[in-house]
Structure 1
Amino acid sequence: MAEYPGGPVILPAVGAFVTSVRDGQTGTVTGHEGGRLSVTWPSGRVTRVARADVRCGLSAGQVVQDQPRSLRPSLGEGRVLDVRTLGGREQALVEFWTTGERQWLPWEQLVPVWSAQSLFEQGVTPLAGFAERFRLRHLALALQHWHRTTGALAQVDIDPLPHQLHLVQRILQSGNLNWLIADDVGLGKTIEVGLLLAALRARGLRRFLLVVPAGLTRQWQAELRTRFGMTQAVIYGQDFEISDPAQWPLFEVVIASMDRLKHERHLDLARQSGRWDVVVFDEAHRLSRSLYGLTYQTSERYALAATLRALTENVVLLSGTPHQGNIDRFEALLELLRPGPVWRERIARLRLEPQLLAGLVIRNRKADVTDAQGNFIFKGKVTRAVTAPQNEPEEVFDRALRRYLKQGYDASRENRKAIAIGFVMTIYRKLAASSVAAIQGALERRLLRLQRQEPAAVQPGPAQPDDPDDGSPFVEADEQVSGTRSEFFSGETEMLRGLIGLARELRTHDTKLQAFTQTLIGGILAGNPDERVLIFTEYRSTQDYLVQTLNGLAPGRVDVIHGGQTLEERAAAIAHFEESGQFLVSTEAGGEGFNLQRRCRVLVNYDLPWNPMRLVQRVGRLYRYGQEKPVVVFNLSVSGSLDDEILRQMYTRLDAVAADLASVADEYREGLQEDIVGEVASFLDVSTILAEAATHTPSRTQARIEEALERARQAARQQDDLLRHSSGFDPDALRGELPVGEAHLTAFVDGMFGQLGVTVTHRLHAGQVWEIKLPEDLQRQLNLNQNQRVAFNRHAASKHRATLLDSRSALLGFLFETAGTYAFSGHVAQTPLGEGGTAGAVLRWQDDRGRPLSERFVVLRRQQDGVTVNPPAFSRDLLQPAVDTPGIPSLTVQAWPAFETALHDLLAAGASDDLHPDGYLVTGVAWNAD
């Protein structure tokens, strides 16, 4: 600091541009001495001048480097946008490309540097070694852009699929973070959200709230922690409680059950949680709001969503079935994405302007998605029906049970106050269709209830507005239904005794169990004795019945999962099944949220659920990404049983309807039928038909099924016609991007180690783990020991106790930072990488408030027929060290306008209603020698 009349003043940094206040010449500061400046002028003359004799020499358009006098990190390179004087001080407005921020700074700390474009235009001859530094500089840029637009470096062993990368890029490059993701079951929605959140964290966003079904909170936490390293992800109400709203800022990534959060006490706390960067709703179709006449009926869940919407600018909704045959509900979801009267009017015109959905909804279908090589990733599904014929004792029991159920239903209709009797009768029908063990246990509990007058285990009641369409997710509780203390009808006790006696006799000759063990399991294992089999049932009693039988066939190789287990117990059972088990028997409640596609392809439905979407969800445990074989599904039923016959007919017709819809699609694709099965099933209300079947003739019941299927078909058509206007996976969409992957990360690290003197002493485990030695200066800078073991994917890092080189790695962050500094150079190079002339650039778009929202890293290669964007050959060249090629440059300054035109065309192509061109920065120019 030096004193002059008017107050203290900062001396300009060495290298700063100054302008003489006497003659207006601009020179460069080359030194300080005694409060005076040494300045070199354009003529080459060097003079010593007082600080008061010079002022800011910067002008708009110049590229500068921030050189802070404090210990804060440098803001890097930026471009001067304007210069002003305030309070006698001159300042420059600089836009920094690493952050996208624009800041007014003291001009004295800004040193002009040569941009890549100016170096090229001035004909600067690249020095030896610049080719390799050019390669490493652009590898760093490509890898960081890859992470910022996909989140891929948050977990380099995820191996994201093209549709997942495309989805994240579509959202991030749209300029708007409010989207409905309507992917089919099994396409990796947790990976998509994890990638999106990781990319947003790289952009500086921190507070994320995920509102999910209660049964999925632990699964979401495990995915975010293990796959994306978000160890701070905590579950509200389980991992932490809030006693004072001031505690909310302590938690950055929060997972909450939507049914916990909707209650007033928790909702009041949520209102005081502060601003969230992004709020994610899983199973968003549960956020229901329906229009009745001119009045909206809003569920508690939707009210919760509206409350949280006011706390964030960005909402992401997840639902495989967002429409559900109800346009009002669908529009209500869209209004959560785009609130306000203007958008309400636009959404109301959705039927007339369905193209609106392209900027609101992303929908990927199993039939469309491919791997990186363009191969379809789903290998198909085969469904086979296995029918067990009733024997005489089973027919006798079935007739007796029907008489009992009929009297129960009659009693329910005769006495309106006894409506719960009908509920119990329906539960008994489901249990009977499951297994003789399930219905026997229920009847015995009912009889015990009447004899001992014990409190009812479950008191059935009307469904609440927010209950799932298929009832409670923990349907195992149905088994505990025992009804009131008094008889449902006169003589019930005697009927129960007779039924229980018949049921006990059936245990010794259960044809359904025999078909399961001998025909089904025997046939499966005959083809492959080591085949793993997943078996689904709705009820614990049936599960116990099957486990007892299977343990006799394969001792020690039978595992179970059910709703009464902890997440850890379920995970242990799955791990044992995949490692050394053979049979995994799961109840509906236990099976929610787990995936087994890696080691299992055979599914047996011991009982068929009344809600067809449950069957689709069961199949989704195996028929999802990562399944390398066709999935085989066996549906077991009993001929002669009324409910089994209805369900079997219904599922057969459902497959037929889906096949018909698939065959008339605009472009038939293998696997489309499976997509449509789930789509139609989501609209199919079978419970009502089955509930009425006890009093209807078989022909009337069949007619009702056909009517329901026709309504479901029409609803599916309506949804498909509407959602076909959504954004979806386009195999060609990513072909315009520069291909980048884990191999580029390895090549970058290897090259930077060579530049910085890091020694790789051993490359272990097929090159996945490196043992390295750091030079002393890096040890001090990074505060690390000399010897390090690093890995390039999380599995190898965990298995071999190595440090993962991901987005949180201090070492990788230092390598990126070093490669991007001005001192590292590499802005220009003469190398075969350049061929006919190559330029790298970062393009950026902003919102209507001037905030940077979207960016793209591109490589432009000039050829005889024009400029090519992101040539794949350049991506391959980046994997090998680059060499200098001295000689006469093949590229002249006259070639530059072609690059500039291409950059402006790209900015125009990326603009939209939400995105406006923000500019570009040329990161490097390379050319070859003639």
Structure 2
Amino acid sequence: MNLPAAGAFVTSVRDGETGTVTGHEGGRLVVTWPSGRVTRVARADVRCGLIAGQVVQDQPRSLRPPLGEGRVLDVRTLGGREQALVEFWTAGERQWLPWEQLVPVWSAQSLFEQGVAPLAGFAEQFRLRHLALALQHWHRTTGALAQVDIDPLPHQLHLVQRILQSGNLNWLIADDVGLGKTIEVGLLLAALRARGLRRFLLVVPAGLTRQWQAELRTRFGMTQAVIYGQDFEISDPAQWPLFEVVIASMDRLKHERHLELARQSGRWDVVVFDEAHRLSRSLNGLTYRTSERYALAATLRALTENVVLLSGTPHQGDLDRFEALLELLRPGPVWRERIARLRLEPQLLAGLVIRNRKADVTDAQGNFIFKGKVTRAVAAPQNEPEEVFDRALRRYLKQGYDASRENQKAIAIGFVMTIYRKLAASSVAAIQGALERRLLRLQRQGQDDPARPDTDDSNPFVEAEEQVSGTRSEFFSGETELLRGLIGLARGLRAHDTKLQAFTRTLIGGILAGNPDERVLIFTEYRSTQEYLVQTLNGLAPGRVDVIHGGQTLEERAAAIAHFEEAGQFLVSTEAGGEGFNLQRRCHVLVNYDLPWNPMRLVQRVGRLYRYGQERPVVVFNLSVSGSLDDEILRQMYARLDAVATDLASVADEYREGLQEDIVGEVASFLDVSTILAEAATHTPSRTQARIEEALERARQAARQQDDLLRHSSGFDPDALRGELPVGEAHLMAFVDGMFGQLGVTVTHRLHGGQVWDIKLTEDLQRQLNLKQNQRVAFSRHAASRHKATLLDSRSPLLSTLFETAGTYAFSGHVAQTPIGAGGTACAVLRWQDDRGRPLSERFVVLQRQPDGITVNPPAFGHDLLYPAADTLGVPALTPDAWPDFELALHDLLAAGASDDLHPAGFLVTGVAWAGQGAEPG
């Protein structure tokens, strides 16, 4: 039978008296009794002396790591052995353990309640112990220490805390484009990893898989993030457990072979769907029509308890589709009924949807982070040769559309005609190349090719005209002759291209006149136009022109962007290449050489620059040709879109600068004008404009409906974080500096603005961490990479050791007499659990006694934590009769944080501090 450890409480079997084991002699226990009497007793003469409520420390007999401190909840006898049920707060678990390895210790609360005055010399330990707790809580609730140089914005921290403190991980994040959804998800996953969750599946559009991987790896240190189908394949379902963080294309995963493998992938802790509005399910009569993507989502939903959906446009003007997304978050008949009442009970969304608007978010100082956007229309006059070509092209297009309507089998001809119209509106080079390819195809002999390009859902863009050349037979009689004439006219236009001249002389010349080194992002829909512009721009700035397009690898795009930001001046991007990259750091000028028919594409283009980190107003130039029918329609449509957004912003409950930009994107998401423009070839201009006005009005109403509904979502509240203890990177540096002083680590140099330290470790730390004596550490990833230093983040063994040391009972600092606790201060960790008893949410709080009551998380305490603490002498200003006030405040906080999904799990008082009355620092 094991002997109780020194310090354990034992109860005499003979008389029920409880004493403390002070040693062992010859297999017997040396026990000190309350009277001071010391005796030697046999193991069989004593039993467990622990009672419920005592705080104990785990001292294992094996080599396993100790579980730390915990509170005894119960004692039992099982199979003749006595055990204690202990709740360990650090480990977040409850365990039945042999009582012999549990040693009672004085907790901060028991010292306070017993009126034990702290000795001098523990003020600094008190500060460092609670710095460690505050920093670890900061990381567990925001993921911030996964990447200390991210500098998370208040709305991002609020979003992660809202989710983690809600007691439910199933949420739809409906933030505007440009608010950092990858950072939000990265912070969330990092915080969940700190809580022990490991398996994450991210289902994203195919074009964004590499971007997601890069973000998770570089920003959050998730080096194990791999892409299904690119970095690894699954031949045997038994291989799935090898991969913890998986990124997969939704259009790859939806196909039956991959879907079947996904069904066998096992349980996932969290599944994230990016661009969740692509998961469509619509009501058709009394039955649902489910897309393959939605079926994929439903399949994966059965493999996880937690789903996070991301979409800036979740409503899409269709309440049925929106409700279908909500049913992914909350499946089952009870929630289906609640969601069906959404029109009557929109407040339901406060616990399902988080929506942040660009017009609302601020930096840590409360300043709005978006500097605004200015849009300018630049119209190039159409010259006579261009008018002649335009009329000839319209005749060709009309015959093509007529042929498409007359022959249902030739419906694809209309698709080709529409693409030709877009190419003509893009550039003379684009339409000329397409017509020449069409003529060449007609002159060839052989089997017909399909008229449509491969329109895989993963790449909705058509950027190369060779994809739409059509069949090798004429669309209509006489097409070949018409093509020869058109090509001849097009070739004569290049020398007098008024659009190109307006671009180079008026636009680029004007931009560079103010700043010759200004960087400019240029968007076009087509590769042929891109090549046309690059040839021209290379003459203006040799070696300073970069391109990105859909045919490049992620590495090639990244290299082009890096060159543009470091040494380039012009970056010409196609629509397909423009997905997912961000340039706000070095560029604020955008030129749309052609205007997309889908207004949401234009919003997404602008989103490459108009996003967090942009320090200047974004300037957008939209180029068009006066006189061309399609250009006129597009120009008027975008002007009217801006007017509608201005009108909606002006009648908002509270007009905010930047709200108009939010509404432009909102209305654009509902504005479907592609069909109208496709029909414009056979309609009068006035009829086409009327149809666009009708579409705008429908979009306006849909945007209003969405706004009326989503205003009930959770959103960024600038005051939400003001009740939390302010913690940041400065606190991390203060903690490390203080702990180095406690452990004898020498800081020999502080370099690069204090971001890099050269240190010398003690021999004990060298052995413990298996490191050399001299080390270089950094507090930001940028500094660590640039100066070849070790980053002190959540994965750092050194930082982990500092946290563990500060949290041990031997480190002390549970109680202190110091000015940092003037008036009396109690620090505590509060926790809430789900209906199965699993810990879900926590909060670190500081309660400070004031003349008018208890203050929670006083900002001054966070400031005091930054500086070494001094001891005070004198009579303690706090007495045991003050404890009920603190306990009542803790219970009030537990009640305030509880919800239907979140139940109080208790609190742990981690420290108490108070100053001496009228005392001076010692």
TM-score (norm 2): 0.98
1:283 aligns with 2:275: yes
* Counterpart Cα distance in 2 of 1:261 and 1:473: 17
Q: What SS does the corresponding residue of 1:513 show, helix, strand or coil?
A: helix
| 1:729-780 Cα deviation digits (max 9, x unpaired) | 0000000000000000000000000000111111111111111111111111
Measured after TM superposition, the shift of residue 472 of structure 1 is 3.8
CA distance in 2, matches of 1:33, 1:805: 46
Distance 1:820 1:468 in 2: 58
Specify which of 822, 842, 845 is matched with residue 829 of structure 2. 842
Query: How far did 1:473 drift?
Result: 2.9
Q: Quick one: which of 524, 540, 543 aligns to 1:553?
A: 540
User: Within 5 Å, which residues of 2 pair with 1:702-713?
Assistant: 702-713=689-700
1:287 and 1:299 in contact (8 A); partners too:
yes
Asked if the contact 2:207–2:458 (Cα under 8 Å) also holds between the matched residues in 1, the reply is no
Distance 1:464 1:873 in 2: 67
User: Aligned partners of 1:322, 1:100: CA distance in 2, in Å?
Assistant: 36
Cα drift, residue 303 of structure 1: 0.5
For the Cα contact (< 8 Å) 2:538–2:544, is it kept in 1? yes
Equivalences for residues 176-191 of structure 1 within 5 A? 176-191=168-183
Change (3 A) 1:14 1:461: farther
Task: Report the Cα offset of residue 99 of structure 1.
Answer: 2.0
Distance in 1 between the 2:764 and 2:473 partners?
85
Cα separation, partners in 2 of 1:901 and 1:460, compared to 1, 3 Å: farther
Q: Is the 8 A contact 1:325 1:716 kept in 2?
A: yes
* 8 Å CA contact retained: 1:286, 1:468: no
CA contact (8 A) 2:19 2:31 kept: yes
Verify the 8 A CA contact 2:449 2:471 in the aligned structure 1.
no
Report if the CA contact (8 A) 2:412-2:452 is conserved. no
Tell me if structure 2 keeps the 8 A contact 1:262–1:301: yes
**Shift in Å at residue 257 of structure 1?**
0.4
Whether the 8 Å contact between 2:833 and 2:902 is mirrored in structure 1 is yes
Structure 2 residue matching 1:736: 3-state secondary structure: coil
Asked whether the equivalents of residues 161 and 372 of structure 1 are also in contact (C-alpha less than 8 Å), the reply is: yes
Q: Cα offset for 1:469?
A: 12
Deviations 1:88-143 (A, max 9, x none): 01111111001220111111111110000111222323233200000000000000
- 2:500 equivalent in structure 1: 513
Counterpart CA distance in 2 for 1:605 and 1:219 is 24
Aligned pair in 2 of structure 1 residues 172, 448: CA closer, same or farther (>3 Å)?
same
Q: Is the Cα contact below 8 Å between 1:225 and 1:231 reproduced in 2?
A: yes
Distance change (3 Å), C-alpha of 1:468 and 1:753: farther
Distance 1:706 1:604 in 2: 26
Contact 1:463 1:471 in 2 (8 A): no
Q: 3-state DSSP class of the match of 2:640?
A: helix
CA positional deviation for 1:256: 0.4
Q: Residue 17 of structure 1 contacts residue 111 of structure 1 at CA under 8 Å; is this kept in 2? A: yes
Aligned residue for 1:733, secondary structure, equals coil
Q: CA deviation at 1:897?
A: 1.2
1:576-725 matched pairs, under 5 angstroms: 576-725=563-712
Q: Distance in 1 between matches of 2:752 and 2:121?
A: 32
CA distance in 2 between partners of 1:628 and 1:538 (Å): 27
Contact 2:459 2:576 in 1 (8 A): no
- Shift in alpha-carbon separation, 1:49–1:460, aligned structure 2, 3 A: farther
| 1:81–1:92 Cα contact (<8 Å) kept | yes
Q: CA deviation at 1:22?
A: 1.1
C-alpha displacement of 1:474: 3.4
Give unpaired runs (5+ residues) of structure 1.
1-10, 454-458
Per-residue deviation, 1:302: 0.4
* DSSP 3-state at the match of 2:688: helix
Q: Point out 4+ residue stretches in structure 1 off by more than 4 angstroms.
A: 459-465, 467-471
What is the distance in 2 between the residues matched to 1:863 and 1:544?
71
Tell me what 1:139 maps to: 131
The count of corresponding residues between Structure 1 and Structure 2 is: 911
2:644 alignment partner, SS class: helix
| C-alpha distance 446-280 of structure 1, shift in aligned 2 (>3 A) | same
Provide the rounded CA distance (Å) in 1 between the counterparts of 2:693 and 2:450. 28
The whole-number CA distance in structure 1 between the counterparts of 2:461 and 2:687 is 32
Cα contact 1:605–1:635 (8 A) shared by 2: yes
C-alpha distance after superposition, 1:204-238 (max 9, x if no partner): 00000000000000000000000001000000000
Query: Residue deviations 1:280-332, cap 9 Å, x none?
Result: 00000000000000010100000000000011000000000000000010000
2:448·2:472 contact (CA, 8 Å) conserved in 1?
no
Contact 1:139–1:878 (CA<8 Å) still a contact in 2? yes
CA distance in 1, matches of 2:66, 2:425: 71
How far does residue 476 in structure 1 lie from its aligned partner after superposition? 1.2
Contact 2:448–2:471 (CA under 8 A) maintained in structure 1: no
Superposed displacement of residue 475, structure 1: 1.9
2: CA distance between counterparts of 1:138 and 1:309? 40
Shift of residue 471, structure 1, vs aligned partner: 9.1
Distance across 2 between alignment mates of 1:777 and 1:100: 29
Change (3 A) 1:461 1:625: farther
CA contact (8 A) 2:449 2:472 kept: no
- Over 3 Å counting, the alpha-carbon distance change for 1:489 and 1:445 in structure 2 is same
Compared CA separation, residues 463 and 804, structure 1 to 2 (3 A): farther
Query: Aligned equivalents of 2:648 and 2:272: distance in 1?
Result: 33
Q: Which of 910, 916, 919 is residue 903 of structure 2 equivalent to?
A: 916
- SS of residue in 1 equivalent to 2:670: coil
User: Which piece of structure 1 moves more, 30-39 or 581-590?
Assistant: 30-39
**Partner Cα distance (2:683, 2:895) in 1:** 65
CA change 1:821–1:468 in 2 (3 A) is farther
Structure 2: gaps spanning 5 or more residues: 915-922
Larger CA deviation: 144-153 vs 38-47? 38-47
Match of residue 225, structure 2, among 213, 233, 250 = 233
Is this contact kept in 2: 1:479–1:539, CA < 8 A? no
**2: distance between equivalents of 1:738 and 1:212?**
36
Equivalent residue for 1:790? 777
- Alpha-carbon distance between aligned partners in 2 of 1:470 and 1:245, rounded to the nearest angstrom: 27
Instruction: Check conservation: 1:377, 1:625, Cα contact below 8 A.
Output: yes
Q: Distance in 2 between matches of 1:505 and 1:543?
A: 20
**Whole-angstrom CA distance in 2 between matches of 1:764 and 1:147:** 26
SS across alignment from 2:682: coil
Give the Cα separation in 2 of the matches to 1:117 and 1:423.
76
CA drift at 1:26? 0.8
User: Per the alignment, in what secondary structure is the counterpart of residue 493 of structure 2?
Assistant: helix
Per mean C-alpha deviation after superposition, the further-off stretch among 91-100 and 141-150 is 91-100
8 Å contact 1:379–1:628 — kept in the other structure? yes
After TM superposition, the score normalised by the length of structure 1 is 0.97
Query: Contact 1:420 / 1:461 at 8 angstroms: preserved in 2?
Result: no
Distance apart, 1:528 and its partner CA: 1.0
Deviations for 1:636-682, whole angstroms, at most 9, x for unmatched residues? 00111111111111100000000000000001100000000000000
1:55 is paired with a residue of what secondary structure? strand
Q: Is the 8 A contact 2:464 2:527 kept in 1?
A: no
Distance 1:921 1:116 in 2: 9
Deviation at 1:468, TM superposition (A): 9.3
Secondary structure of the 1:735 match is coil
Residue 379, structure 1, aligned to residue 364, structure 2: no
**d(CA) in 2 for partners of 1:782 and 1:556?**
49
For residues 706 and 894 of structure 1, do their structure 2 counterparts lie closer, same or farther at Cα, with a shift above 3 Å needed? same
Task: Give the distance between the partners of 1:495 and 1:685, measured in 2 at CA.
Answer: 32
Please say if residues 173 and 310 of structure 2, whose CA atoms lie closer than 8 Å, have aligned partners that are also in contact.
yes
On the 8 A contact 2:451/2:470 being kept in 1, the answer is no
1:60–1:461: structure 2 CA closer, same or farther, 3 Å change rule? farther
Alignment of 1:361-400 (within 5 A): 361-400=353-392
**Equivalent residue of 2:717, what SS?**
coil
Whether the 8 Å contact between 1:423 and 1:460 is mirrored in structure 2 is no
Give the 3-state SS of the residue equivalent to 2:315 in structure 1: coil
DSSP 3-state at the match of 1:403: helix
Per-residue CA distance 1:698-727 (angstroms, 9 max, x = gap): 111010010000000000000000000000
